[in-house]
Structure 1
Amino acid sequence: MGILSWILLGLVAGALAKFIMPGNDPGGIIVTIVIGIVGAVIGGFIGTQLGFGDVSGFNLHSLLVAILGAVILLVGFRLIRRA
């Protein structure tokens, strides 16, 4: 995947993760993209370790893995921020 695909996937995954977990999180669209990209990496790592696959292209499976990773990242961020 090229960098433009990662940014686009990150934007979509980050926006959907924030839609799934609404709340008062700081940042605008740039933070949403970063959450989505890092979430895709986290989701790809966890998916690979559990045998579900990884983020290999711009398809539905990769999007779901990226969204799962972004949601996990948001949960972790909120737990750290609360403590």
Structure 2
Amino acid sequence: MSILWAIIAGLIIGLLARLVLPGRQPIPLWATVLVGIIGGLVGNGLAAAFGVGDTSGVDWIRHGFQVGVAAVLIAVITPLWTGRRRA
């Protein structure tokens, strides 16, 4: 069941990351989910390193780290993906 939750969380984080980036990101949905999963894992690690991984209430800072990492990854992957498709 944890794999299913990772995919759902990755989808949400990846879509939010695409929303915060300007312009269009022509990458497939599976790449968005994968980047969201990676962003979630790295964001959790960063939040723990900064001591904000577990707070009372909603962990907005942790979620910000997750979406931020995913946005950076999407910004890096998008030109690579579009360059690959043209070749």
TM-score, with normalisation over the residues of structure 1?
0.70
Stretches of structure 2 that go unaligned for 5 or more consecutive residues are 81-87
Where does 1:19-30 land on structure 2 (aligned, <5 Å)?
A: 19-30=19-30
Query: What is the match of residue 59 of structure 2?
Result: 61
Q: Partners of 2:22 and 2:31 in 1: how far apart?
A: 14
- Using the alignment, how far apart are the partners of 2:73 and 2:52 within structure 1? 19
Tell me the amino acid that sits aligned with residue 68 of structure 1. G
Q: Which has the larger radius of gyration?
A: 2
Distance 1:52 1:2 in 2: 23
**How many residue pairs align between the two structures?**
75
Give the CA RMSD over aligned residues. Answer: 2.8
Aligned ranges 1:1-83 → 2 under 5 Å: 2-53=2-53, 60-61=58-59, 64=63, 65-75=65-75, 77=76
Q: Give me the whole-angstrom Cα distance separating, in 1, the residues matched to 2:71 and 2:27.
A: 16
